[in-house]
Chain A
């Protein structure tokens, strides 16, 4: 009866429900006016959802979720100089952040030391910290309790070296490696697909990833060696369903590479974690998380034969959408971030970063980053949404979307498989093209008014609002270069040379690079020097520049 009544409304030609072709989510799914029992007629909560903390984990990876422990409130603590970043980190922790992310400046990201001519003007850029040597890592981590606070290193191509420095500092301080928690982003696949901070071709890069994975497996069992990241795919323009499909496909690729390297799946899969972006579409986002958990669990158990239930868990860190923030009327971004953050919480995230409202203009000020942190605390402590787990389960709409996300993902998986898997698809330019197409059509929708962005294409004000902006320190680059030159003069350059030779040899062979890297960073070999030697051995990757 109820179903028939919904259908009658849908079919009523005289009083049509408005449909101007606008009711689509960001993945392009057409959204109906009303959902009902018919849309989820096959719905079987026991198989489709399970209980929270039970297979297939649609409702969440933990039995108690936020009732026992809130998500990790994880904010970016980096800033140009390692000591300043250390102070910023400690301040965020004092204000109630429970985790920290540290990102790197552009030269470090691209494997260049501060004194490299290509680094000019970019040392300390993008709110990232400049890491040349072990000394920088020491300053960065000074006073941070390494066995208590989980640090997320937003580090990718340079991860083996950052990991070596992190381990070396912990050892100097007498913190046993097995107590270290935290995460290394270390997701090279998405670099070729979207973020574009690669050095070497995909296959040698993958070997380095597996070296870090193996090293963490043996010595740092509480540390997450890879955080498989959809965030960057989405920032480059991937739709939510593309983000979901490509991220999971990348995840399965790491699983396959680990198995190929001889690691039993349950020895490393429990430490794989993920990183999602939360887009503007509120319910679509929640469905994305729910289907991600279900697809990961099913595939890990059924296809990759993982036996340890922890291998089935899709654990995810989230960041609100930097690319949804507008430079016009920037204070509106406070509201966007709050809505996105709420959506991530309802999606069941394990960790969350909220962006600051001024990020379309510059890196955050202390005031804007505090407001971003407080946004999470208000959701956590005032809104009541943490009282019950997965409150949207059983919603006709959300369950329909969750199913649809899963179906669409399967289509993408088949397409990628048809191209010979993720690495081949990268080499064929498949991801870059798919993402560029999505980003262009998003821009077109904004420009032809199909999609409204408040303050940008509607409710526009002519005057640009002035807000207080962060001022980068103009002296920093010069000082950093002087420090580095000083270090290069004072260290034992014979031992540097012999370490670099060893790195060259190991890179040419198939041995794990981590032991020699740890030895090298202790001898004050710099990040740029190590990458330089590896570039000689592995060659450099250049993408086909298409738009």
Chain B
């Protein structure tokens, strides 16, 4: 077995909302777990996020949404990725996203939606499991 490649993860806050506590905690936890984390910061549009994901050659993109705009933003990102023919970047997310909406997002190809109160170790495990498969 060769040395395991370091995972590169983009964490972003799409939309107008500035509640970045969760995004920052997750970014730091992933970084402490040995992943390379690129934090895109606030007020990012879907186009900016997808471009950053490609430019930074990341394995996954984590989106934090607390404003209720998840039903607009996730589909846009998935469509943009599809248009660009990209299928090897995992999209996951978290925030104030009701349970009943999570299935719909996953059916678009979103890997996982973490609810409020998630243990950051569960996110690390999830990425480990999913990206090294």
Interface residues of A (CB under 8 A from B): 106-107, 109-110, 112, 118-122, 125-126, 195-197, 235-237, 323, 326-328, 360-363, 436, 439-440, 443, 446-447, 453, 456-457, 464, 466, 469, 472, 542-543, 545-547
Contacts and interface: CB of A to CB of B under 8 A. Distances in A.
A126 B68 CA distance: 7
Nearest to B100: A469
Most chain A Cβ neighbours within 10 Å, of B15, B31, B99: B15
A545 B23 CA distance: 11
28 contacts: A110-B16, A112-B16, A121-B73, A122-B69, A125-B67, A126-B68, A195-B19, A196-B18, A196-B42, A327-B117, A360-B96, A360-B117, A361-B98, A361-B116, A363-B68, A436-B28, A439-B21, A443-B25, A443-B120, A447-B120, A464-B115, A472-B68, A543-B41, A546-B39, A547-B23, A547-B27, A547-B28, A547-B37
Interface in B6-41: 11, 15-21, 23-25, 27-29, 31, 37, 39-41
Nearest to B70: A121
Nearest to A120: B72
Given A125-B68, A326-B116, A439 B121 contact: no
Interface string B80-101: 0000000000000000101110
Main SS class of interface, B: mixed
Nearest to A457: B119
Contacts of A106: 15-17, 67, 69
Contacts of A197: 18
B96 A237 contact: no
Contacts of A472: 68
Q: Which 8 A-B pairs have the closest CB atoms?
A: A121-B72, A196-B18, A545-B41, A547-B27, A327-B116, A106-B16, A547-B24, A121-B69
Contacts of A120: 72
Contacts of B121: 447
B71 interface: yes
Contact of A122 (B67, B98, B115, B117): B67
A457 to B, nearest CB: 7
Contact of A323 (B17, B21, B29, B68): B21
A118 B27 CA distance: 25
A210 to B, nearest CB: 23
B28 to A, nearest CB: 5
Interface in B102-122: 115-117, 119-121
Given A361-B96, A443-B25, A122 B15 contact: yes
B29 to A, nearest CB: 8
A107 B119 CA distance: 31
Nearest to B73: A121
Contacts of A469: 98, 100
A466 B115 CA distance: 14
Contact of A196 (B15, B20, B96): B20
A109 B16 contact: yes
Most chain A Cβ neighbours within 10 Å, of B16, B18, B19, B40: B16
Nearest to A117: B45
B96 A328 contact: no
A236 B22 CA distance: 9
B121 to A, nearest CB: 6
Contacts of B71: 121
Nearest to A106: B16
B104 to A, nearest CB: 13
A326 B98 contact: no
A166 B115 CA distance: 38
B117 to A, nearest CB: 5
Contacts of B24: 436, 439-440, 547
Contacts of B40: 545
Contacts of A446: 119
B98 A362 contact: yes
Contacts of A121: 15, 69, 71-73
Contacts of B119: 446-447, 457
Nearest to B12: A545
Nearest to A124: B68
A118 B16 contact: yes
Given A119-B16, A545-B39, A326 B117 contact: yes
Given A122-B69, A472-B68, A440 B116 contact: no
A195 B25 contact: no
B116 A360 contact: yes
A219 B63 CA distance: 45
A362 B68 CA distance: 8
A110 B16 CA distance: 7
Contacts of B39: 545-547
Contact of B21 (A112, A122, A237, A464): A237
B98 to A, nearest CB: 6
Most chain B Cβ neighbours within 10 Å, of A126, A543, A545: A545
A545 B52 CA distance: 14
